[in-house]
Structure 1
């Protein structure tokens, strides 16, 4: 029959139009603690405590991305370029993976998640990337991190 929508068998043996419960996803920013961030059902409707824990988690992820972007974990003047290159590549992969997790969390369109992600990146840059806490103010004297800067 042309023009009819397909039907699917349901669990009770009848045929219906929708075999699964459809979840609506926000497509604009909203404010509230009933959000799903990164994982299905988390924090969901588990209360303000779980929402606060999710916000802290996203803040720490964004902060960690900034720390990895500006840290010096590989000793300068290392004689083994292969092991230093492998360490640098692993750090890069971890940083990119964490940055994508922050991006996916922001894609929940929750206003609180957006704010804590920006705050985590901002505070991380203030502590690790800005001149505020650096002893030497000449930014051109040496390499400041193991990884190349993140580009948009």
Structure 2
């Protein structure tokens, strides 16, 4: 849609003190569909930017967030034992773990809202790696699926 020569692809307001018109130099474009490329903004303004090494670091960060998300669920099961021995301390520890888990989940959601295909792939890969490590029993202990089945009355 032509609005007197102004591109309406960005929702950025005009610069303060300007003439009311938008210059192309100050405008940023936000993708609303998935795209492939390293020139993206993930979580923070101008991060990772246009440098390829920073994009790789951003992908590693998103992967780690997804693994941490699944690991925090395993930590909650361990904290349940603490709650049985010391109810007040256990409740505080489980609340802290829940807070971290929700914060990580929101960060992952916001990273995915960059609509970058690479971010989507590493988030899914991070969830898969976290599931393999913490829920499928690869990192010691019984598989989480078996523990879930024992605690589910509808399953028995």
Shared fold, TM over 0.5: yes
More displaced stretch, 22-31 vs 131-140: 131-140
Give the aligned partner of residue 128 of structure 1. 134
Q: Higher RCO, 1 or 2 (CA under 8 Å, sep at least 6)?
A: 1
Q: Which SS does the other structure have where 1:128 is aligned? A: helix
Aligned-pair Cα RMSD in Å? 2.7
Alignment of 1:88-127 (within 5 A): 88-127=94-133
Q: Which SS does the other structure have where 1:89 is aligned? A: helix
* Structure richer in strand, relative to its length: 1
Alpha-carbon deviations, 1:101-147, whole Å to 9, x = none?
Answer: 0110010000000000010011101111125566546434469xxxx
User: Could you list the runs of 5+ residues in structure 2 that have no partner in the other structure?
Assistant: 1-13
User: Could you list the runs of 5+ residues in structure 1 that have no partner in the other structure?
Assistant: 1-7, 144-152
Q: How many residues align?
A: 133
From 26, 40, 44, the counterpart of 2:45: 40
* Structure richer in helix, relative to its length: 2
Q: 1:124 to 1:39 in 2, by over 3 A?
A: same
Alpha-carbon deviations, 1:28-64, whole Å to 9, x = none?
Answer: 000000000001011011x211110110011001100
